[in-house]
Structure 1
Amino acid sequence: MPPPPPESADPGLEECLRLLEAVPAAAASSPAFRRHWPSISASLAALSAALASPAFPPSAPLLAPLAAALGALMSAATDAPRLAASLAQLAADARLLATPAPPPSAGAAAGADSGADALISRLRLGSAASRATALEELAGTAAALPESGAVVPHLCRALESGGAGAEHACAALLPLTAASRDASAAVAARGGVAALLAACAGGTPAAQAAAAGVLRNLAAFPDLLPWFRDEGALPLLLQLVSLGTPRAQELALGCLQNLTAGDGDEGQRLKVEAFQEGALACVKDFLDAAAATSRIAVSAQFAAHVAAALGSDRSPTRTEAALALAELCGNSAGKSRHEVEDAVPRLVWMLEAKAVSERDAAARALAALLAASGACRKLFRKDERGIANAVQLLDPAGARGVDRRYPVTVLLAVAQSRRCRKQMVAAGACGFLQGLMTAEVDGAKKLAECLGKGKMLGVFPRT
């Protein structure tokens, strides 16, 4: 039986083809692989076909891990199930490399498809640095991809790897699972609940918050609840409500609410388990602490420091600052609101951000500020970009993952101005509101009625 190639070797295409030819005879003598041989042999056949394709690049980065996997198979150095899964993934990667790229075509949709394919290729086949960069980029653009379901398996793999990759994977899965039930089901089916709970337990503060948000999205679907109970999710979620960052606490609490909101058998069992785990006391402590923290923040003029963080050059920092500002201005006394008026132009600019999570956070903060302060409403009306940017967030195609209630609230706050109403109509709010009213989004009907004043809106029937 030939030995596996040394770790320092840089195997080429010919070496991998040689190993592929030698594997069947070597593996046939190993009882450990007999039960898994059907799936292993199918992967080997797919690998042989892909490597023999003229389109397969002879210096692909796939060759080194392939040679290592084949060497492990021949020496029975790896457990069979894990090796079978590894070979299946390598076969899929090889098929991707052997598929000729389609000719470029015109149109935005074609460009978006090409961008999605490029991201997936970088997630699967690039170096560690390239994969990390692709994950970070995907965290900001996942919800806008036309092939978003295709990236879920790769995000789940990154989630299981831990570290910075898990943080970026959580951030990318957050808008995907908010916008798609299929994406949520795919995450759960690939063991995502366990990996997300691991991120909640040992990830960075940003990863904990994003993971809790993904779990909240998954918990909204009753048929996915058994995964939460099987993984024993409740104790860890309650721990996050008690000890996590404010954002992680909020999202973990939302997950608990979804888990215990159902009336079916699974929902009832989770309610009982939550009660037994001390959920009521935990939630009470959270609410008491939140009220005390808000009073301290106001007295220390903390809101002004949070508003200053909106000028950071890092999108995650700006996002967290906007979410904190929304919370502070929504719950604090009026005396702190004049300290954050300078935040309005920055938040208007953030409505154009590449990351969906940043746009959503900016809309939440603006909704809180404009509802609380006439001065902030005046500043928002003066900014020529404000109305147009807020209207664009009503578009279900261009801003998936944004909670539409908040841009609607922003627009309602200035809808008493005839000039602002004209700007909304000119920006296309009429068409977007039709769909939002059908979906019964809070405030959409009221905003439509406001825009109907002065007969500017002919598409809405009067009753």
Structure 2
Amino acid sequence: MHSAADPLSPPPPSENLDKINQLLDHLLPATLSITCFASRWQVLRAKLASLKSILSEVSDSPHWSENALLLPLLPALLSTVRRAETLCHHCCDVSSSVSRGKLLMQSDLDMAAGWLSKQINELELLLRSGVLHQSTAIVLSRPGASSSKEELAFFIKDLFTRLQIGGLEFKRKALDSLIQLLSEDDKSAAVVAKEGNMGCLISLLDLNGHDSIRELAVLAVSLLVSAGDFPRKCVFEEGALGPLLRIAECGSMPMKEKAAMAVEFITDDPDNSWAISAYGGIPILLELCKSGSLTAQSHAVGALRNVSVVEDIRNALAEEGTIPVLIQLLVSGSPSTQGKAANCISILASTSEYLRDLLLQEKGLQRLLHLFHECSTPDTLEHVLRAIYSLSASDTSYRILSGSTVFVVQIAELIKHGNVMLQHISASLLANLAISDGNKRAVGGCMSSLVKLMESMKPDGMQEVAAKALLSLLSVKSNRKEFVRDEKSLMRLMQMLDPKNEAVSKKFPVAVVAAIMAGGSQGCRKKLVAAGAYGHLQRLAETDVAGAKKALQRLSANRLTSILTRTWRE
């Protein structure tokens, strides 16, 4: 280690600053008398004057001499000002100026002006960030959970200052600290997006930059966009999507994974999804789906799923060959990938007969049914079932699904034991398909579950699809008899029929009563009357509830027929 007196030791910051100021005091007046290259010297003079003013502000900052970013700037500045002084001497000496050549002198003056601009910008950045007013004892020391917003904001400003001014090591340490902050505290992402320079962070994604810096930058960006709408909006508006797609195309596999993750989160906002096509991103995402790691595949197909909601992009997806890739992912992807692929298929199939036909040509329904029978992950199962439901709009799919006993039995099991979303989709399918009487008898055991679902306020439409599915099953005589034998289901039906119960639209339980009485069974009538259906229907008919009068007539007609029959027999 060199001592303070060692000539190899760098001079103290104050000494460099003094030398720069002394040179400026001499140089600024000297440039006034230069007549050659007047316009260029006018620019240089303005920059030198600006530099002097900024250095005055720097020296007034309490901790300027301790700042690790400023210290390497001062020697570089001193070298630039000395270069300007040399050029000043050449231009004041006409013979020297001529001997150097006009073009060379112009080039030297332009380079000096460029160096000054860059260094002035860095000094201004340091001043604006406020880091020169803080002791270096806290630099890169991440604020704790109890720290104030002001402390967090300063820490972030310091990080981004280092990203813009510092060398590789400064940038690496700053990115490490930023990643640690975002990994441990999601809420900090909004402050990072507000206080940090997003443009600077995005610039580090450039493929021409240093690999280690780019790898850290893409991780930081992926963490930012995954943390909320505001950071995602800021990153997108700074133009991150293009660089991220280039990394997804050309980066190492770990970088491709992080870039694809960021693209998936950015495109989660429909307002951003359109840009994928503008950047030529669909082929890049498809290639990742085909040859990427399992993680990269999952994020890439997630991004495709996101952009499939944009009407103008859907046909482009088909033209680029997305559908065969999606079908293949149903077979070979991870559970997460399979779910996202099925979700994308569901969106495509629900919007266009043309796309449904393409999916069926690629044996999409068969692949989905196979996955449906094998899948055990509820989230993936939900997406697969949605895709099957969307494809059921096709006549071919409708016939296949209606005639599949295995499928009908399985959706009946989901109505009984699935989560609320699986119950909703399964009930919708059961309500819409043309199921044989034999299959309706086979799944009659789910009627009690359908009655419970008729009471559900959420999700929207649950009461209606549950009622429709139940009405379909009640078209079979044996199911009607089984229903009225189930005292709990009958009690639930009466509670829904009660005019005082406002939680359920009365048209649904009224329709169920009418369906039970459709066959004219005396046993069913007795059960309904004994449970209180007659009185409820009378009051509902008086208030003109849809279907109530007709249901009451059926109940009354059967009652009258019973009385007349008994009298005749007697």
Q: How high is the TM-score relative to the length of structure 1? A: 0.49
Q: How high is the TM-score relative to the length of structure 2? A: 0.41
Larger radius of gyration: 2
